[in-house]
Homo-oligomer: A and B are copies of this chain.
């Protein structure tokens, strides 16, 4: 089983062109996770700009990403003092799969916040629950990513959705690899859709997801806090905040997605 870094490797083919081999381990029924795709895009954008941190990523998901070969096209739109901005496109079979704008730059790992909100409560690891029954799955997304959920947000598994579009979990890679900006790209799209708690079932395709890296994460577990504000007209929003093991807000995302309409 390859590492997360192997699975997100991009190889520079020419100026602004990268090749990648997308890893089916990050797929659900052959549809690759959007966070995994954003991690691949981030690696190409960071390499092209020569910057360490994906400060801001706005990604529109046009088609389902499939395991196998892909290209990443990076087109610089601004190279500034503080940040670089590029159009970044994931291409498979000559079609755009993800269309993104990525701002890269350098965050100060020692910055002290002028103001920070505080995280909502997430029960400690030992009080949280697994999604499936296996503590150490052998294949698929759950074999790469370890998550421990707040039971209050997992009633939908037993047909008892809370009615609140919320989902909370601890998160880490199942390998000796500490979080950084590329792992944060994966983390912001790792929770099950919050609408599972408002009665939606089935596939909830992300239409657009924007996320910002806000600080350099400390080693250890991350805490994911997901919630939505409105489920209406077949659309829902999902905000995810990522907090590191030192209790600092390290990433923020919002996605707009189509609510699953299949009933169980």
Chain A interfacial positions (CB closer than 8 Å to B): 55-56, 58, 60, 62-63, 77-78, 82-83, 85, 87, 96, 99-101, 103, 107-108, 111-117, 163-165, 198-200, 207-208, 210, 212, 214-215, 228-235, 237, 241, 249, 252, 254, 256, 258-259
Given A87-B87, A210-B254, CB of A60 within 8 Å of CB of B101: yes
For A117, list chain B residues within 8 Å (CB).
228-230
Per DSSP, chain A at the interface is strand
A99 touches B99 (CB 8 A): no
B252 touches A111 (CB 8 A): no
For the complex with contacts A55-B207, A114-B198, 12 further pairs of A-B residues with Cβ separation under 8 Å are A58-B210, A60-B85, A82-B258, A83-B207, A87-B87, A108-B233, A114-B232, A115-B232, A116-B229, A116-B231, A117-B228, A229-B252
Instruction: Compute how far the CA of A241 lies from the CA of B228 in the bound complex, rounded to whole angstroms.
Output: 13
Can you tell how many copies of this chain the complex includes?
2
Given A114-B259, A214-B235, A215-B232, CB of A60 within 8 Å of CB of B58: yes
For A254, list chain B residues within 8 Å (CB).
210, 212, 252, 254
- Return the contact of A56 from the options B114, B116, B208 (Cβ within 8 A): B208
For A116, list chain B residues within 8 Å (CB).
229-232
Given A60-B85, A87-B99, A256-B56, CB of A232 within 8 Å of CB of B113: yes
A208 touches B207 (CB 8 A): no
For A249, list chain B residues within 8 Å (CB).
229-230
